[in-house]
Amino acid sequence: MTKKTPLPPLTPKEKSVLEFIEEHILSSGVSPSYQEIKDHFGLASFNSVQNYLKQLTAKGYIENPLGQKRAIQVLHSASAFQERQSKLVSTKTGSQSSQLLQARDEILSLPLLGKVAAGLPIEALKHDEFVDVPPSMVRNPAKSFALKVQGDSMIEDGIFDEDIILIQKQNTAGNGDIVVATVENEATVKRIYVRAKPDSGSSQKLVELRPSNSTMKSMWYEPEQVEIRGIVVGLIRKF
Q: Report the first-to-last Cα separation within the chain, whole angstroms.
A: 51
Q: What amino acid occupies position 83? A: E
- Give the residue from 97, 129, 137 showing the smallest Cα distance to 113: 129
Phi/psi for 49 (5° steps) reads -60, -50
What positions carry a catalytic annotation?
153, 190
- Give the residue from 147, 157, 144, 151 showing the smallest Cα distance to 191: 157
Alpha carbons within 13 angstroms on the beta-carbon side of residue 22 total 16
